[in-house]
């Protein structure tokens, strides 16, 4: 039996944003060209080759040091791999390599700097920053909608600055110190990938952050919603519907089933959306949100229920 509360509607004020499926596809078309410039893509390819060559040379001279940089580069390759999927509007989890790559990444341990204690803070903090990026990207994948709508954090990431830990690394590179050269190449690659991630965040920001959405008074249920608007929508057009319900953001697809001209104070049209392909968990979130708002509003109208204390009542004797 279908949940009757799914069709219980209640007026709430929430940030809500509609985007037609066509506009959504247009916005995300050619995403790679927007977030990764051709010169940067070429540079990333060159960095990959240079790093591998230098690490191979390190293996000849010092296996322990080479293992440190091999670990760091493996993490960067995973970051690059996930970002590639996002730029191609693909859900990384749908790729058969994802689970394997994630397991391998979890096995990576903090590299030891070996005999160079001066580099220990730099290497350890670099490792932790790369780990933090991986955790963020995996979370984005796990919360993706339709495998191409990715909900990125709004905070822009900073570049990793080697000068925060050592002040002569560039001089060592100029002198031809192999260890310093590999480190600088890895940091350059990481910072390029951070730039790509930050641009993805900017590109997705208008459709994934509620601060950009208009706040409306909406008659809401888990089955659909209606509201007043000045915007004319074509009947039966389809949308991605973004809503912020307290601290939770929910996204579903909707179909415009009613467009009625009303010319009321809050808008020219009364529109009605029917939610389609809505996951059960999203239905549950909407229903609980509506019920809680109903309860809170009721408590405002009826803040107290006055009951006479039992000790003041004269209880009848049932056996008299």
Cα angle 260, 261, 266; round to 5: 105
Mean pLDDT of 146-174: 86
Burial status of residue 292 (CB atoms within 10 A of its CB: 0-12, 13-18, 19 or more)? middle
pLDDT digit string (tens) for 162-175?
A: 999 988 888 888 88
Cα angle 109, 153, 221; round to 5: 125
CA distances (Å), origin 38, targets 35, 44, 52, 181, 193: 10, 10, 22, 24, 14
Can you give the C-alpha Rg of the chain in angstroms?
Answer: 28
Q: Which residues contact 47 (CB under 8 A, 6 or more apart)?
A: 185, 188, 189, 192
Residue 317 has pLDDT above 60, yes or no: no
Q: What is the mean pLDDT of the chain?
A: 86
> In the chain, where does DSSP find H-type helix?
21-28, 31-35, 38-61, 63-87, 97-106, 120-142, 169-174, 178-208, 280-301
Q: For position 318, what pLDDT does the model report?
A: 43
pLDDT digit string (tens) for 55-64?
A: 999 888 877 8
Q: How far apart are CA 305 and CA 307, in angstroms?
A: 6
User: Where is mean pLDDT largest: 31-45, 183-197, 270-284, 291-305?
Assistant: 183-197
DSSP track, 14-62: EEEEEEEHHHHHHHHTTHHHHHS-HHHHHHHHHHHHHHHHHHHHHHHH-
Tell me which DSSP letter residue 149 carries. Answer: B
Q: Left if phi > 0, otherwise alpha if psi is -120 to 50, otherwise beta: which for 77?
A: alpha
Mean pLDDT of 129-143: 94
* Least confident range of 25-34, 171-180, 299-308: 299-308
Contact 2, 227 (CB under 8 A): no
Mean pLDDT of 242-250: 88
Q: For position 118, what pLDDT does the model report?
A: 77
pLDDT digit string (tens) for 184-235?
A: 999 999 999 999 999 999 888 877 778 888 999 999 999 999 999 999 999 9
Domains observed in the chain: 4-19+214-301 (2.40.10.220), 36-208 (no CATH)
Contact 254, 273 (CB under 8 A): yes
Q: For position 319, what pLDDT does the model report?
A: 41
pLDDT digit string (tens) for 14-40?
A: 999 988 877 766 666 678 888 999 999
Contact 18, 241 (CB under 8 A): yes
Q: What is the b/e burial string over 169-206, where b = at least 16 CB atoms within 10 angstroms of the residue's CB?
A: beebbeeeebbbbbbebbbbbbebbbbbbbbbbebbee
Name the phi and psi angles at 144, rounded to 5. -70, 150
Q: How many CB atoms lie within 10 A of CB 251?
A: 20
């Amino acid at each position: 039996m279908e949940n009757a509360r799914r069709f219980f509607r209640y007026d709430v004020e929430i940030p809500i944003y509609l985007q037609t499926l066509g506009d959504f596809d247009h916005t995300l078309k050619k995403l790679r060209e927007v977030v990764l410039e051709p010169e940067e893509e070429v540079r990333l390819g060159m960095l990959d080759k240079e790093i591998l060559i230098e690490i191979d040379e390190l293996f000849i001279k010092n296996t322990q040091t080479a293992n440190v940089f091999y670990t760091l580069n493996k993490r960067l390759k995973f970051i690059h791999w996930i970002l590639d999927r996002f730029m191609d509007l693909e859900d990384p989890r749908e790729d058969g390599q994802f689970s394997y790559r994630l397991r391998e990444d979890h096995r990576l341990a903090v590299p030891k700097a070996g005999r160079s204690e001066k580099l220990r803070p730099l290497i350890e903090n670099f490792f932790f920053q790369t780990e933090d990026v991986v955790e963020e990207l995996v979370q984005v994948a796990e919360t993706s909608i339709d495998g191409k709508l990715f909900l990125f954090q709004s905070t822009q990431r900073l570049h990793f600055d080697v000068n925060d830990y050592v002040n002569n690394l560039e001089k060592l590179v100029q002198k031809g110190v192999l260890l310093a050269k590999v480190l600088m190449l890895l940091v350059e690659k990481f910072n390029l990938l951070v730039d790509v991630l930050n641009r993805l965040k900017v590109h997705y920001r208008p459709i994934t952050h509620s601060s950009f959405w208009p706040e409306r008074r909406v008659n809401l249920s888990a089955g659909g919603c209606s509201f007043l608007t000045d915007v004319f929508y074509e009947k039966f057009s389809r949308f991605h519907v973004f809503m912020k319900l307290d601290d939770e953001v929910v996204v579903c697809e909707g179909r415009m089933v009613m467009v009625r001209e009303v010319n009321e104070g809050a808008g020219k049209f009364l529109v009605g959306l029917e939610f389609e392909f809505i996951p059960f968990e999203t239905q549950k979130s909407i229903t609980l949100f509506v019920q809680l708002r109903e309860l809170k509003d009721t408590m405002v109208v009826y803040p107290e229920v006055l009951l006479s204390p039992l000790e003041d009542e004269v209880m009848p004797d049932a056996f008299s």
